[in-house]
A and B are shown apart, each in its own frame.
Chain A
Amino acid sequence: MFNLPARFIGTLAAAAMGASLAMSPASAADDTIKVGILHSLSGTMAISETTLKDTMLFLIDEQNKKGGVLGKKLEAVVVDPASDWPLFAEKARQLIEQDKVAAVFGCWTSSSRKSVLPVFEELNSMLFYPVQYEGEESSRNVFYTGAAPNQQAIPAVDYLAKEEGVERWVLAGTDYVYPQTTNKILKAYLNAKGVKDEDIMINYTPFGQSDWQTIVSDIKKFGSTGKKTAVVSTINGDANVPFYKELANQGIKAEDIPVVAFSVGEEELAGLDTKPLVGHLAAWNYFQSVDADANAEFIKEWHAYTKNDKRVTNDPMEATYIGFNMWVKAVEAAGTTDSNAVIDSIVGTSVPNLSGGYATMMPNHHITKPVLIGEVQDDGQFDIVYQTPGLVVGDEWSDYLPGSKDLISDWRKPMSCGNFNIVSGKCGGVTN
Chain B
Amino acid sequence: MRLNRLLSVFILMLGVCCHIAQSNAQTVDDAKLRPLVQALAGDNFEDTTKAISDLVKTGDPRVSKILDALSAGDLYVAKADKTVFFGKRDGSDYAATDPLTGTKLDPVSRSAAEKIKVNNRLRRDIAAAIGGLTLMSDNITERRSAAEAILKTRDPESIPLLDQAIAVEKDTGVKALMQQAKAAAVLSSDAADDVKIAAITEVSAGNSRDALSLLTPLENVQGPVGEAAKAAIDSINTKLAFWNAIQNVVYGLSLGSVLLLAAIGLAITFGVMGVINMAHGEMVMIGAYTTFVVQQIIRTSAPGMFDYSLLIALPAAFLVSGGIGVVIERGIIRFLYGRPLETLLATWGISLVLQQAIRSWFGASNVQVGNPSWMAGSFDLGLLTLTWSRLWIIVFSLSVFAIVQLVLKKTMLGLRMRAVTQNRRMASSMGIRTPWVDALTFGLGSGIAGIAGVALSQIDNVSPNLGQGYIIDSFMVVVFGGVGNLWGTLVGAMSLGIANKFLEPFAGAVLGKIVVLVLIIMFIQKRPRGLFALKGRAIEA
A residues in contact (CB < 8 Å) with B: 1, 4, 7-8, 11-12, 15, 42, 44, 46-47, 50-51, 162-165, 175, 203-206, 208-211, 213-215, 217-218, 220-221, 223-227, 238, 241-242, 245-246, 248-251, 254-256, 258, 267-268, 270-273, 276, 278-279, 375, 377-378, 383, 385
Q: Contacts A8-B361, A250-B378 known; A271 to B254 CB distance under 8 Å?
A: no
What distance in Å separates the Cβ of A48 from its nearest Cβ neighbour in chain B? 8
> In the complex, A270→B359 CA distance in Å?
15
- Contact between chains at B378 and A251 (CB < 8 Å): yes
What are the residues of chain B within 8 A of A203 when measuring CB–CB?
Answer: 508-509
Instruction: Name which residue of chain B comes closest to A202, CB basis.
Output: B508
Which residues of A are found within 8 Å of B390, using beta-carbon distances? 213, 249
Asked if residues A214 and B365 are in contact (CB atoms below 8 Å), the reply is no
Q: In whole angstroms, what is the CA distance A203 to B247 when docked?
A: 19
Asked, given contacts A164-B120, A242-B460, A378-B73, whether A214 binds B296 with beta carbons under 8 Å apart, the answer is no
Please pick, from B120, B388, B462, the residue contacting A249 in the complex, using a CB distance under 8 A: B388
Indicate if the CB atoms of A272 and B378 lie closer than 8 Å. Answer: no
Enumerate chain B residues within 8 angstroms of A163, measured Cβ to Cβ: 1, 119, 121
Query: Could you tell me the distance between the alpha carbons of A406 and B261 in the complex, rounded to whole angstroms?
Result: 54
Q: How large is the interface on B (under 10, 10 to 19, 20 to 34, 35 or more residues)?
A: 35 or more
- Could you tell me the distance between the alpha carbons of A231 and B247 in the complex, rounded to whole angstroms? 22
- Tell me which of A1, A4, A51, A210 contacts B361 (CB under 8 A): A4
Chain B contact residues, CB within 8 Å of chain A: 1-2, 5, 45, 73, 115, 117, 119-121, 123-124, 127, 152, 209-210, 212-217, 240, 247-248, 251, 254-255, 258, 296-297, 299-300, 352, 355-356, 359-361, 363-368, 370-371, 376-378, 385, 387-390, 459-465, 468-469, 500-501, 504-505, 508-510, 513
Looking at the complex, which one of B124, B214, B508 makes contact with A204 (CB distance below 8 Å)?
Answer: B508
Please count the residue pairs between chain A and chain B whose beta carbons lie under 8 angstroms apart in the complex.
Answer: 176
- In contact, A204 and B510 (Cβ under 8 angstroms): yes
Partner of B217 from the list A1, A215, A226, A241 (CB cut-off 8 Å) is: A226
Complex partner residue of B213 from A226, A241, A278, CB under 8 angstroms: A226
Contacts of A8 in B (CB 8 A): 360-361
Which residue of chain B has its CB nearest to the CB of A375? Answer: B119
| A–B Cβ pairs within 8 angstroms, 16 of them | A47-B463, A51-B364, A164-B121, A203-B508, A206-B510, A211-B258, A214-B251, A214-B504, A224-B210, A224-B216, A242-B460, A242-B461, A246-B459, A249-B389, A251-B378, A375-B119
Q: Is the CB of B459 within 8 A of A385?
A: no
State whether A251 and B385 are in contact (beta carbons under 8 Å apart), knowing that A214-B505, A241-B460 are contacts in the complex. yes
Distance in Å: Cβ of B252 to nearest Cβ of chain A: 9
- Tell me if A15 and B119 are in contact (CB < 8 A): no
A217 touches B469 (CB 8 A): no
Taking the closest CB of chain A, its distance from the CB of B376, in whole angstroms, is 7
Q: Please report the C-alpha to C-alpha distance between residue A164 and residue B365 in the assembled complex, in whole angstroms.
A: 32
Instruction: Chain B residues near A205: list those with CB within 8 A.
Output: 509-510
Chain A residues near B117 (CB-CB < 8 A): 383, 385
Task: Add 15 more A-B contacts to A204-B509, A210-B459 (CB < 8 A).
Answer: A8-B361, A205-B510, A214-B247, A224-B213, A226-B213, A226-B217, A238-B463, A241-B460, A246-B387, A267-B365, A270-B366, A270-B368, A271-B368, A273-B370, A279-B123
Question: Which residues of chain A are near B355, meaning CB under 8 Å?
Answer: 42
Least CB separation from B259: chain A residue? A211
Once the chains bind, are A1 and B296 in contact (CB under 8 Å)? yes
- Residues of chain B lying within 8 A (CB to CB) of residue A11: 360-361
Report A244 CB to chain B, min CB distance, Å.
11
The 5 closest A-B pairs by CB, nearest first: A271-B366, A249-B387, A224-B213, A225-B216, A205-B509
Tell me the bound Cα distance from A255 to B152 in angstroms. 10
Q: A249 to chain B: which residues have CB within 8 Å?
A: 376-378, 387-390
A221/B209 in contact, CB under 8 A: yes
Shortest Cβ distance from A280 into chain B, in angstroms?
Answer: 9
Asked if B209 contacts A224 (CB within 8 A), the reply is yes
**A12:B123 contact, CB within 8 angstroms:** no
CB of B515 to closest CB in A, whole Å: 13
Q: Which chain A residue shows the least CB distance to B500? A: A211
| Contact among A165, A175, A383 with B510 in the assembled complex (CB-CB below 8 Å) | A175
Docked CA distance A208–B470 (Å): 10
> Within 8 Å CB of B463, what residues of A?
47, 238, 271
With A47-B364, A271-B461, A273-B368 as known contacts, state yes or no: A209 contacts B119, CB within 8 Å: no
Residue of A nearest to B352 (CB): A42
Option from A209, A215, A238 in Cβ contact (under 8 Å) with B465: A238
B371 near A273 with CB under 8 A, answer yes
Query: Is A215 within 8 A of B366, CB to CB?
Result: no
For the complex formed, measure the closest distance between the CB of A248 and the CB atoms of chain B, giving whole angstroms: 8
Which of the residues B254, B370, B461, B509 comes within 8 Å of A238, measured between beta carbons? B461
Bound-complex Cα distance A51 to B363 (A) = 10
* Cβ–Cβ < 8 Å partners of B359 in chain A: 42, 46
Chain B residues with CB under 8 Å of A226's CB are 213-217
Query: How many angstroms from the CA of A256 to the CA of B115 in the assembled complex?
Result: 23
A210, A217, A385: the one contacting B247 at CB < 8 Å is: A217
Task: Name the one of B254, B365, B464 contacting A213, with C-beta atoms under 8 angstroms.
Answer: B254
A313-B459 Cα distance, complex, nearest whole Å: 26
Q: Which residue of B lies closest to A5 (CB)?
A: B361
Give the residues in chain A near B240, CB-CB below 8 Å.
Answer: 221
CB distance from A266 to the nearest CB of B (A): 10
Give the complex CA separation of A270 and B368 in angstroms: 7
List, in ascending order, chain A residues with CB within 8 A of B215's CB.
Answer: 226
Taken together as a complex, chains A and B put the C-alpha atoms of A378 and B352 apart, in Å, by 35
Q: Across the interface, do B460 and A251 meet the contact criterion of CB distance under 8 Å?
A: no
Tell me the bound Cα distance from A219 to B73 in angstroms: 28
Q: With both chains docked as a complex, state the minimum distance between the C-beta of B122 and any C-beta of chain A, in angstroms.
A: 9
Residues of chain A within 8 A of B45, CB atoms compared:
385
Contact B461 A241 (CB under 8 A): yes
Chain B residue with Cβ nearest A238: B461
